[in-house]
Homo-oligomer: A and B are copies of this chain.
Amino acid sequence: MKNPDLNARIEARGKDFFQSIAGETPSLFNKDRWVGKVMDWCMKNPDFRVQMFRFVDVFPYLTAGEQLTRHIREYFGGKDQEIPAVLKWGAKSSGFAGAIGGTIINKVLRHNIEEMAGQFIIGETTAEALKNLTRLRQKGFAFVVDVLGEATVNEEEAEQYVATYLDLLDSLKGAQLDWPALVGGDDDELDWGHAPKVNVSVKPTACYSQARPQDFEGSVTGILAWLNRIYEKVIALGGFMCIDMESHQYKDITLEVFRRLRQKHPDHPHLGVVLQAYLKETDHDLAALLGWAGENQLPISIRLVKGAYWDYETVKARQNGWEIPVYTLKAKTDAAFERQARMILENHQSCHLACGSHNVRSIAAVMETALDLKVPEDRYEFQVLYGMAEPVRQGLLKVAGRIRLYCPYGKMVPGMAYLVRRLLENTSNESFLRQSFAEEADIARLLEDPEEVLRRVGAGGDSPTEGPEDSGRLPRFENEPAADFTKPGQRAAFPEAIAGVRKRLGQTYPLFIGGQNVETGHRIPSINPADPAEVIGQVCQAAPPEVDRAIVAARNAFPAWREAAPGRRAAYLLKAAAAARERIFELSAWQILEIGKQWEQAYADVTEAIDFMEYYAREMIRLGTPQQMGSAPGEDNRYFYEPKGIAAVISPWNFPLAISCGMVSAALVTGNCVLFKPSGLTPVIGHGLVELFGEAGLPAGVFNYIPGQSSAMGDYLVEHPDIGLIAFTGSMEVGLRIVEKAARVQPGQHHVKKVIAEMGGKNAIIIDDDADLDEAVPEVLYSAFGFQGQKCSACSRVIVVDGIHDQFVDRLVKAARALKIGPAEDPANFLGPVADGNQQKKIRRYLEIAAKEGEIHYSSQVPNQGYYVPLTIVGGITPEHRIAQQEIFGPLLAVMRARDFDQAIEWANATRFALTGAVFSRSPEHLERARREFRVGNLYLNRNCVGALVERQPFGGGRLSGTGTKTGGPDYLRHFMDPRVVSENTMRRGFAPSQENEG
């Protein structure tokens, strides 16, 4: 298909292109200017690069001089307290060389950064933008305007974003009348005879704050509503609108929005969308889109780019255990770009191409391919970013004529994200611009056919991150992947699984003791908190006689189980994990119905259960190998662990599978036999363990399931002299009661009981005055209101440093207003019902207290049916308030205004608890202080404070939050065992066999 000598022509054109711009340097790399000097320094010094871009990111927040001075020192002071010379550049020429004080540096730096930003942004105001756009057009460049915006965290911001577009369009409407069309056409209304003069680019997620992949339809309609308003205005003035492509998670939503909008206005063809060549799915998406356009006879326009979120996509995928959606080899992206450009050009009747690249090879390829395919000139154009790669744009103007500059417009604060991305892009090792202009790489290499590059490096697959595993050993632990709602299959699986589970509601669940189902007369129904009339299951209740029976079963099973090799015990866990993996959607569905947990969180609960089993299996194999102690000859000392005996596992309802499974599997794999008492609110999910371990083939008596009322058998279980170990997760009150009761040695008891207790939290997130609110607002919302705030890790206090308090609270409250409330089975709902009527009552009492102690900023409406409580944000709270001290376990967030960061830390620590916490700050020093002084078990910096992952964030707190045992961490299993040492004197008759490990 591809013309055989096409590549030669592409390379020849590329060479010509390079020659035509020889000697020119993009201003970014011009070392006569500050920005060029900084870029140069960044490319030489990776640490400085990180610091510099982080500094640029926070810079617009540093309005006070003191703040700026401090940050300069923190970011660049380093060990020798020497500010790098490049940052002072310009101070000298201003005549201040002799006495560079903080103020001078501040001024110089502020000036330089603003100038740098100005280079990439067409204007901060409409007037400024219009002036610059007019000037660009005079030079022969078309434009596409993009309104810079903060991340849209609430609907008011979405509205504001849309409003800005509408205003801009009004201004452009007037301005375009004065603009002569660009050369090449005879229609004075259209540039080059075919292109609207007004061209805007819009980010879909900026139009709607609640877009979430799992809520596909809701996201599409939410975005479409606003986007349509902009587009109607664009149509009215005869303009062009392109829908930008953001991160991969919104790709399918965006494509769907595009199709619907295109269909809605079939007669206005000037609607485009962006495709990113670096996505592995783009070949498929492009084919589908072209097919769709052809079928529906709706010509479309595609801006083809390489993609600007490579780091983000890679990191996000690896953090979540997903396949990396982007090519990890740059040449693969380059090859895809050429392949996809060709595909569009081949379909030029139904699709217009905007070639969005600065890469001379890619540009030349598009040019020659278009010539080769005899594509009319009005079916393709070239786009480059404003402020970058000036020689390329000049060259393109000369050669192609049809060149459009992508011009961001707006305030500097929201513009910084854009700026940082551009800077990073251009200073990355693989940047074409860096290689072309800063490093003067060999032109032949720069112009090489990317397919040829791939053949040369022999890259078949595209997964360089995965190495071969040691055969025979377990592969390294990896967290089970999070739900990936970009996959239609996963989205569809949820309603299906819920429907399946619903058919099985109302069954009776017996106890499980000594390998037998045991029915008892006393049964209690478990119900759906979103619809109390819906009975999930009828659950048999254990009383002391059943506890005794289970103890006997466990005691009988214990000797053989203790003797089972660690690897064998681990194998049962791995089998149970495999069973859970098989049933993951069904197990999630039970949680959605029995306890009102949202899709992704229900799924995460199951993956966490799997993680616990996979991790503890490996941990036990690690800890199960006796340690040789010392190196003296003639003796053999081995340190190893033994199980404590019979473990009572008492688990909560909020992570009904994960926490149960974590405690149970830790107890089991270490060789203990288990009596498992699930929460009375989630006994059916708890019964899932009977099923999973049943599928794994666990020997009878090793695991016993004894749901029962705490009042009827809780103390009996805890005080039983045969219980060796109690693993508990739940409230502080119950936990401390267990600790105290277990400490008394009962008659007939021949050991000190071990209690592993994970209890409550009163967790705070600190918002420093330089926090990135685009991230802080949604993360606080998720931390505070995810699963209705019913997590021991949930944020219940947000401590905001005075300087940023009002701005933060304003955005937060508005964002909270946008959250939908209703049954968890509908993925549109952010918030569901709380666990039961008791919780509902308790939280409502706290709402009354909150109203008295503080000022209610927002309290939502709730559905009539079900155990709902309003999502509430209360301000004006200080440490002495009950709302600041007591664990509420519901969707009530206290906002505390702290004088400064010191006070914020002090307040954060000022409760009886020490479980989780977070800090949003861009001050290196404050982050460092928080590490040391914000004394909680799990501290998170610049992220939410929930969702600790097994192994990566071993979980648990100190003070009255727990016994410092840290689930999912390297020390956890040790608490379930006692160490023993056997020392053998290997010397007999004066003779000792030589030791293998002798030093």
Which residues from chain A sit less than 8 Å from chain B, CB to CB? 46, 50, 53-54, 57, 309, 311-312, 314-316, 318-319, 416-417, 420-421, 424, 465, 467, 479, 563, 627, 629-630, 632-635, 637, 639, 642, 644, 736, 739-740, 742-745, 750-752, 754, 757, 772, 912, 922, 927, 931-932, 935-943, 948-949, 951-956, 958-960, 962-964, 966, 969-971, 974, 977-985, 987-994, 999
Contact = CB atoms under 8 A, between A and B. Distances in A.
Contact of A937 (B54, B318, B420, B980): B980
A967 to B, nearest CB: 11
B750 A949 contact: no
Given A420-B989, A940-B985, A952 B632 contact: yes
A928 to B, nearest CB: 10
28 contacts: A57-B988, A311-B990, A311-B991, A312-B987, A319-B632, A420-B991, A465-B999, A563-B932, A629-B954, A632-B952, A642-B958, A644-B958, A739-B743, A739-B752, A742-B743, A745-B960, A750-B960, A751-B958, A754-B963, A939-B982, A939-B983, A940-B982, A940-B983, A940-B985, A942-B985, A948-B983, A955-B981, A966-B981
Contacts of A931: 982
Contacts of A740: 743-745
Contact of A750 (B465, B479, B959): B959
B315 A639 contact: no
A953 B984 contact: no
A987 B315 contact: yes
A799 to B, nearest CB: 18
Nearest to A309: B990
A629 B952 contact: yes
Helix, strand, loop or mixed for chain A's interface? mixed
Contact of A939 (B563, B980, B987): B980
A309 to B, nearest CB: 6
Given A938-B981, A981-B969, A951 B990 contact: no
A77 to B, nearest CB: 18
A484 to B, nearest CB: 16
Contacts of A942: 984-985, 988
A637 B943 CA distance: 12
Given A311-B991, A743-B742, A750-B959, A953 B983 contact: yes
A639 B981 contact: no
Given A311-B992, A942-B988, A954-B639, A633 B319 contact: yes
Contacts of A467: 999
B970 A639 contact: yes
A204 B109 CA distance: 91
B629 A951 contact: yes
A767 to B, nearest CB: 15
Contacts of A964: 644, 754, 977-979
A978 B937 contact: yes
A634 to B, nearest CB: 4
A316 B987 CA distance: 10
Given A311-B990, A319-B632, A936-B980, 10 more contacts: A54-B988, A315-B634, A318-B634, A319-B633, A630-B952, A750-B912, A752-B962, A752-B963, A754-B963, A937-B981
A989 B315 contact: no
Contacts of A958: 642, 644, 751, 978, 980
Contacts of A922: 988
A955 B937 CA distance: 29
Contacts of A952: 629-630, 632, 635, 637, 983
Contacts of A630: 479, 949, 951-952
B999 A953 contact: no
Contacts of A989: 53, 57, 416-417, 420-421, 424
Nearest to A931: B982
B984 A941 contact: yes
Contacts of A46: 993-994
Given A634-B315, A979-B954, A991 B53 contact: yes
A960 B749 CA distance: 9
B424 A318 contact: no
B990 A312 contact: yes
Contacts of A752: 736, 739, 757, 960, 962-963
A956 B980 CA distance: 8
Contacts of A642: 935, 958
A629 B953 CA distance: 7
A912 B46 CA distance: 62
A322 to B, nearest CB: 12
B421 A970 contact: no
A737 to B, nearest CB: 10
A912 B743 CA distance: 16
A61 to B, nearest CB: 13
Contacts of A465: 999
A774 to B, nearest CB: 9
A747 to B, nearest CB: 12
Given A633-B315, A970-B639, A991-B424, A959 B751 contact: yes
Nearest to A736: B745
Contacts of A637: 952-953
A938 B640 CA distance: 11
Contacts of A988: 53-54, 57, 420, 772, 922, 942
A981 B963 contact: no
Residue from A314, A954, A956, A991 whose CB has the most chain B CB atoms within 10 Å: A991
A58 to B, nearest CB: 9
A867 to B, nearest CB: 31
Nearest to A945: B983
Q: Which 8 A-B pairs have the closest CB atoms?
A: A743-B743, A630-B952, A312-B990, A315-B634, A964-B978, A943-B985, A941-B984, A958-B978
A633 B941 contact: no
Contacts of A750: 912, 959-960
Nearest to A247: B990
A421 B966 contact: no
Given A311-B990, A751-B958, A752-B739, A985 B639 contact: no
Nearest to A942: B985
Contacts of A981: 937-939, 948, 953-955, 966, 969
A644 B914 CA distance: 12
A158 to B, nearest CB: 21
Contact of A635 (B319, B757, B937, B999): B319
A632 B951 CA distance: 11
A980 B951 CA distance: 13
Contacts of A940: 982-985
A276 B931 CA distance: 64
A963 B977 CA distance: 10
A310 to B, nearest CB: 9
A818 to B, nearest CB: 23
B984 A966 contact: no
Nearest to A958: B978
A31 to B, nearest CB: 24
A966 B744 CA distance: 22
Contacts of A956: 979
* Candidate in A311, A314, A980 with the most chain B CB atoms within 10 angstroms: A980
A931 B938 CA distance: 40
Contacts of A977: 964
A37 to B, nearest CB: 21
A889 to B, nearest CB: 19
> Which of A53, A937, A992 gathers the greatest number of chain B CB atoms within 10 Å?
A992
Contacts of A987: 311-312, 315
Contacts of A999: 465, 467
Nearest to A640: B931
Contacts of A634: 315-316, 318-319
A935 B984 contact: no
Contacts of A316: 634
A959 to B, nearest CB: 5
Given A319-B634, A954-B639, A969 B960 contact: no
Given A53-B991, A417-B989, A750-B960, A983 B943 contact: yes
A477 to B, nearest CB: 9
A912 B721 CA distance: 13
